[in-house]
Amino acid sequence: MDYRYGSHTVYNIEYHFVWVTKYRYKVLAGEIGLRVRDLVRQSCEAFEIRILKGVVSKDHIHILVSAPPNLAPSEIMRRVKGRTSSKLFEEFPHIKKRYWGRHFWARGYFCSTVGQMTEEMIQDYLEHHFEPRQDDGFKVEPE
C-alpha cells in the first residue's frame, strides 16, 4: 500500500470527485481546459492533495486524489472549485458573460471513497484478531 505520513498520522485516503460547469456549458476545451487543469493541480498542491488520475472533459472534471485526513471532502471541493472559478473569471473575462451570476461551477459534486481494503477484509481481520467472545462484535483485547 502507498501510505502517506503526517506528523502524527499514517494514512491512505482516496476520493473520486466529479463536478460540472454551471448549466453544463461545454467550455472546458482548448485554452480554458488546459488552464483549468493547471489551476486544479495548483489548488491540490497547495493543500497537500495528490492527484492520482484525472480527466478534464468539456463540461465536467473527474479526479482521483489522495488527501490528508484533516481535509473533509466538502472542504476539498470548496477550495478547488472556489480557486479555479475566481482565476478563470479573472483570466478569461469573456466567460463572465455566460456566467453572469459569478458561479462557474454548478452547485454540488460527486464524491466516492476509494479503498484498498474491502469491508469483508476488515471484518475478517477484526473477527480473528482477538479472542472470540459472545458479545455485540465490539471486542477488547485480553490482558
Amino acid at site 113: T
- Calpha distance 136→35 (Å, rounded): 53
Assigned domain for 143 exists: no
Reported residue count of the chain is: 143
Confidence of residue 46 (pLDDT cuts 50, 70, 90): very high
Assigned domain for 15 exists: yes
- For residue 29, what is the domain's CATH number? 3.30.70.1290
Assigned domain for 39 exists: yes
Assigned domain for 81 exists: yes
For the chain, percent of residues with pLDDT exceeding 90: 68
Q: What integer pLDDT is reported at residue 100 of this predicted model?
A: 75
Q: Which domain holds residue 73?
A: 4-115
Residue 140 has pLDDT above 70, yes or no: no
Report the number of distinct structural domains present in the chain. 1
pTM of the complete model = 0.81
Assigned domain for 31 exists: yes
Assigned domain for 128 exists: no
Assigned domain for 123 exists: no
Assigned domain for 95 exists: yes
Residue 133 has pLDDT above 70, yes or no: no
